[in-house]
Chain A
Amino acid sequence: MNSISNIIDWFINTGVLNMALIALIYLTVFALLGLFLVLLERKVAAWFQLRIGPNRVGYLGLFQTIADALKLVSKELTGTVKADKFLYNLAPYFVIVTSLMALAVFPFTKDLQAFDINIGIFFLIAISSIGVIGILLGGWSSNNKFALIGAMRSGVQTVSYELSVGLSLLTMVILTGSLQLSEIIEVQKSGWLIVQGHIPAIIAFMIYMIAGTAETNRAPFDMVEAESELGAGYHTEYSGMKFAYFFLAEFINMFIIAAIATTIFFGGWLSPFGITESLPWMGLFWFLVKTFVLVFLMMWFRWTFPRLRVDQLLTLEWKYLLPINLVNLVLMAVIVWLNLTIQI
């Protein structure tokens, strides 16, 4: 009897139980969020395309993705005979776990942050580059040439665009002087960083959005899937829940990219002009509003633009985004040095 209570005490004292609980809550909330992002995407796509979108399951089709998820869970898991079974099964977890891990560091409001580490931005950049390993593994191990081409493209794409994401965030770090996300938001109490840093910040934001869209492998940078070229790209051979992991991860990644932009450029949970400063819980509302505006922007990109070709993708990164980014970094440094930032 004693030993069991000892173990329980140990759990409570070390905070493992707390962590597990928080992790569980995060998992549930963000899995649901991912599902509803899928629904949002489908609705938004429909509205762009003169359609109605899902409207059958539940009120206004709100339960459509729940039904889809149930379908995916209950589907048979197929695979190719000559697939490298271990890696093939491992790949989806790489993708989904990394995208869920990144969520831990976001400050949704002042107090709602699971994990406030002092290298927050670094952590985010590092985590987001692990996801591509899953894609590479999936494409390589499923013994399908289309999947392999998709995976190789993904490798090329992520390695290149990681630079732009990193550098554009670095530009903003010059302004904040900290990598800790909560501190970055503190700094923005005297004006959102996109206002504080004006021209270089706007350039950095634009580059970040382009590179971020590329990081999530969404159109116009969806070379990895490129349905008219590769069928379904790296997840051609996946089905059922394993496919659902890839699918869900794509949408959670989109949310993460938008959430990073919200935190770094648009003041995170801070309300515009401090209008709801007396109500701390409104922070969550503002955070989500800003994030979803950016998510919508990414959807708008997707449903308007054609896809780039793989060499043009690299041209865009290495000949346009990267040089501009480097110049922009210097420009930002000069602006901070000369104290030309706008403080409200």
Chain B
Amino acid sequence: METAVLNSTTVKKSNFKSEEYFINMGPQHPATHGVLRLLLTIDGEIIKKVEPDLGYIHRSIEKMSESNSYQQIVHLTDRLDYLSSHINNEAVCLCVENALELEVPERVKVIRTILGELTRIASHTLWWGVMGMDVGALTTYFYGFRDREMINDIFEETCGARLTMNYNIPGGLMQDIHPNFVKRVKEFIPHFRSKLPEYDRLLTGNIIFQKRTKGVGVLSREDAINFGASGPVARASGYSCDVRKYHPYSALDKVNFTEALDTAGDSFARYKVRIAEMWESLNIIEQLIDNIPEGDFKVATNAVIKLPKGDFYQKVETARGEFGVYIISTGNKNPYRVKFRSPGLSNLSLLNHIAVGGKIGDLVATMATIDIVVPDIDR
């Protein structure tokens, strides 16, 4: 009893220390979109440190690629960033075609670009739905999926699969486009044009949403460059880095589009950049869909593709940013080494930098706008 009294008198205000604690967010957590594990150090609600822990979905795709032929590598890239699978495939094919100095027909280039932009829209609609869900508006998820479903139907009809399409092969496309393809895309454009303003009315303009995202997870232009950020994350910070603009591939040098840029660098800016990208992708598709040139859908390659000795790099702009394929060839039918530069990993690396000091809710909103796809981060 005596000691208790003694303690209570000697306790000073400075002795009431708040203690930081650890919390495991993931690998099973609704906001980490897959099997990402975040080790959070939290003080009350305030985040002190975020440590992403990877490895839960590592499939060693780069190593597998070393024992696969160049045609076979393409289908493995479906499983990286599965929401931009077509663009990933395109990157590998472009890299192999460059190495072989193979000129693909114009028709292939245009179709690849249209499908690539459709992929971007599909990815962004899914992101929009999930973004709404992460900040608590569950209805956006279904509206986003409704529009994505139309694109997935287009993919399924032409490519044969909805997600892991594997439609590109080195030298062109696996099949010609389906006769309904143009019609369906033309149906989709006005449909989506009418739905995008609805997205804005439901979520973008919402005061709660703006309060949740404005000024949250601010990334400066310098940091974006230092962390190697790319895609909408970097462009929202004012770093103009669109591969489609600076190193146009396929038919992207023939179309007019503006690069979506913002300078605020916060979650809301990243959100707005993605919405603007959907509009731009619609513009690109609209410019191309009426002028798909006639011609072959592929050029013949050897059944066994052997790349010349050397190293080859090709980068493309996926829905998440700059995706690079680096192939070192020793002249065999298999690559000596393949390296994929995935946008997700470098975008995730800045999470600790921008989420510290925010609340748990801010972390979720920030993660949603970084748009992580875990198989892309963890290859």
Contacts and interface: CB of A to CB of B under 8 A. Distances in A.
Interface of A: 45, 48-51, 145-146, 149, 153, 219-220, 222-223, 226-231, 303-312
Interface of B: 21, 23, 29-31, 45, 132-139, 141-143, 146, 202-203, 206, 208-209, 211-212, 359-362, 364
A228 B136 contact: yes
Given A226-B361, A227-B30, A229-B364, A305 B134 contact: no
A49 B138 CA distance: 9
A304 B359 contact: no
A306 B31 CA distance: 14
B-side interface mostly: helix
B208 A50 contact: no
B360 A145 contact: no
Nearest to A153: B45
A306 B142 contact: no
B23 A306 contact: no
B359 A311 contact: yes
B21 A307 contact: no
Contacts of A310: 45, 359, 361
Most A CB within 10 A of own CB, among B136, B138, B208, B209: B136
A309 B139 contact: no
The 7 closest A-B pairs by CB, nearest first: A307-B136, A49-B142, A306-B135, A306-B137, A309-B361, A228-B31, A306-B136
Contact of A309 (B29, B134, B206, B359): B359
B47 to A, nearest CB: 11
Most B CB within 10 A of own CB, among A149, A226, A306: A306
Contact of B23 (A146, A220, A307): A146
B212 A309 contact: yes
A215 B373 CA distance: 36
A155 to B, nearest CB: 13
A149 B24 CA distance: 13
Contacts of A51: 142
B362 A304 contact: no
A229 B361 contact: yes
Contacts of A230: 360
Contacts of A45: 138
Contact of A228 (B133, B143, B362): B133
Contacts of B31: 228-229
Contacts of B30: 227-228, 231
Contacts of A149: 45, 360
Contacts of B21: 145
